[in-house]
A and B are shown apart, each in its own frame.
Chain A
Amino acid sequence: MEANSINPEKWVDRYADYLFNYTIVRINDREMANDLVSETFLAGLNSMKNFKGEASERTWLISILKRKIIDHYRRNNSQKGQAEVKMQFRDSDNEGDWLEERVADLSLMTAEDEMENHELGLAILDCVDQLNEKQAAIFKMKTIDGVDTETICNEFEISPSNLWVIIHRARTSLAKCLEKNWF
């Protein structure tokens, strides 16, 4: 197996979205997630010498990120004294008597559903990474960030019909990739 090389200039373009998505599902706080991702990049830079090239760059960065997330939880847990247990007893004064107000809401997602969706998100990003760079960038802008057609066309200097062809191709290969890895 050829050794994997390391290339920090490309980190942000290649891995930022994946790492960010990985973090945000575990720590439900945008700012904190951002801090952790940038900490991960810096830690990666500092320990570049330790990178043996056995794993891919991304796997290596993820393993650093995992440590960072655990550290974050530890930090939070050390302030545990302030934790407060809240119990909710039904208060007959404030709550309505209607049956609808008392039944459980079935439309709420269960924990398993949510977990599956997070994994799906990572699987999709995985597949998007396999597209070529321009395709991936355009697809992400259009589908995930919802940027309108005109803006993308101006930025990449392509015609709208060109854009649709690119997105169409990206979607086709994405569907194939997901079929292999997800279903």
Chain B
Amino acid sequence: MKRLHFMKLSCAEAEKVCTKAEYKEAGFIEKLRLKLHLYFCRTCNDYFHNNQKLSALLKKADIKTCSSQEKEVFRNKIKNGTSKDF
């Protein structure tokens, strides 16, 4: 059992790995440790599934944002607008 000690993961860590996994940036060992933790921990398991749902929603919503260059254009326009007024 002692050899398996390195597989242990606290809940706080598990949540972090969970978030990482949603962005596909968790390593293989991390994912393995997470799976093991989820197997025993009900709370984290729920959290994991909610997190997946959130990702699905975010993907479904397909939010479009303006790029930073476009924002810079807006900013300049507003600046010029204000300087004209005052």
Contact = CB atoms under 8 A, between A and B. Distances in A.
Partners in one complex: yes
A163 to B, nearest CB: 10
B63 A124 contact: yes
Interface residues of B, number: 30
A124 B78 contact: no
A145 B57 CA distance: 16
Determine which residue in A12, A37, A144, A165 has the highest number of CB atoms from chain B within 10 A of its CB, and name it: A12
Interface stretch (B1-9, B34-42, B67-75): B67-75
Interface in A142-170: 142-145, 149, 161, 164-165, 167-168
Contacts of A174: 54
Contact of A142 (B23, B50, B57): B23
Nearest to A121: B61
B66 A34 contact: yes
Interface stretch (A41-49, A63-71, A77-85, A98-106): A41-49
Given A12-B71, A120-B60, A178-B54, A164 B16 contact: yes
Contacts of B60: 117, 120
Contacts of A8: 78, 81-82
A143 B64 CA distance: 11
Interface string B2-31: 000000000000011011101101000000
Determine which residue in A9, A161, A168 has the highest number of CB atoms from chain B within 10 A of its CB, and name it: A168
B19 A167 contact: yes
Contact of A143 (B20, B58, B71, B73): B58
B75 to A, nearest CB: 5
Interface string B42-86: 000000001100100110111111100011011101100110010
Interface stretch (A16-24, A50-58, A87-95): A16-24
A117 B60 CA distance: 7
